[in-house]
Amino acid sequence: MSAPTPGPMHRTSAQVSHERALAETSDVLLNLDHTIARAKKARTIVARDDDERNVELALGDLITELDRVRKRLMRDTYYAGDALRLL
């Protein structure tokens, strides 16, 4: 009797690990999307009050930074291929 060959549903431990990493990254990206949307909403609300210009500017800076971090995470996770980022 021969040993059964792995079927199409068999995944290596490396594949499982990669899928887990992508799922975790997806969750982080979803949270970043929600955070960016909430910060934009807050900036719009704060902009109505002339007295809170510093808060409006701080939220604008935050949105810019979060967008940058989100794009980098996307690029490094989904579009990097086999390249290793050293810095």
Split at pLDDT 50, 70, 90, the class of 82 is low
Contact 49, 62 (CB under 8 A): no
**Distance separating alpha carbons of residues 59 and 57, to the nearest angstrom:** 5
Mean pLDDT for the stretch of residues 70-83: 84
3-state secondary structure of 12: coil
pTM over 0.85: no
Report helix, strand or coil for 4: coil
Predicted local distance difference test score (pLDDT) of residue 31: 97
Contact residues for 43 (Cβ-Cβ < 8 A; gap 6+): 56, 59, 60, 63
